[in-house]
Amino acid sequence: MDVLQISIALMPFLLALMSRMGKAIVPCLLTSLFTVLLGGEPHRAVVAWCVGMLISAVAFRERLRAG
């Protein structure tokens, strides 16, 4: 994987860091790691990435709602 693919795979984790919710950071980190590890199998990597983005998007939305 090149740098662009790794940065895309880490998007859920980075979005969870911006949400500052501790409950969302660990699952998003795990899904990002699974996305990187499953990079050779694109269908499984996309599922892991989508789950991570869903978790991080909900956490970020809750931060915007609270703030």
* Direct distance between the N- and C-terminal alpha carbons of the chain, in angstroms, rounded to an integer: 37
11-62 pLDDT, tens digit per residue, is 999 999 998 878 899 999 999 999 999 988 888 899 999 999 999 999 999 9
Could you give the angle at the alpha carbon of 29 between the alpha carbons of 61 and 58, nearest 5°?
15
For residue 57, what are its two tokens?
Answer: 């998007």
The pLDDT of residue 66 is 86
The whole model's pTM is what?
0.87
